[in-house]
Amino acid sequence: MQLTIEFGGGLELLCDSKKIHHVNVEFEQQNEEDKLTMRELLSWVQTNLIKERPEMFIKGDTVRPGVLVLVNDCDWELSGQLNTSLEEKDVVVFISTLHGG
């Protein structure tokens, strides 16, 4: 699945200071209703994009409090957070609010 993943607010520093990543996420569909969700994407991002200090990005099974997530410019709190399902060409943005003011 082709996705665009963006990091902002200092999170880009965890992945070689690269803000925008065009990625292809392999996803094994067990049956037809199976969809890639943010839950799977988070662990994929952690494995494949985050190069250092993963604790700045993940806490427990979700993003660290203070990291904002938007899927197609929509707050993921409106779409079910980890259960948000993803589709081809979606844009997922992670922004840290924790850096300087």
Partner 1 sequence: MEGKRNVRICCLCNERRASLKRPKTLQQICTECFYLAFENEIHQIILSNRLFSRGDRVAIGASGGKDSTVLAYVLSKLNRVHDYGLHLFLLSVDEGITGYRDDSLETVHRNQIQYGLPLKIVSYKDLYGWTMDEIVKLIGLKNNCTFCGVFRRQALDRGAAFLKVDKLVTGHNADDIAETILLNILRGDIARLSRCSSIVTGEDGPIPRCKPFKYTYEKEIVMYAYFKKLDYFSTECIYSPNAYRGFAREFIKDLERIRPRAILDIIKSGENFRISTTTKMHEQGTCERCGYISSQWVLIDDQSSSGDGGGSTRCCSSAWWMFTVTVPEALRSISHVCSGGGQNQEKNKEKGGSLHGCIHGKEDEEMKVVFIDKGKRFSAVQSH
Which parts of this chain interact with partner 1 (CB under 8 A)? 8-10, 13, 35, 64-66, 68, 70-80, 83-87, 93, 95-101
* Shortest Cβ 80–partner 1 spacing (Å): 4
* Shortest Cβ 99–partner 1 spacing (Å): 4
How far apart are the two ends of the chain, measured CA to CA in Å?
Answer: 36
Count of CB atoms situated within 10 Å of the CB of 82 = 15
Which of 10, 54 has the CB closer to partner 1? 10
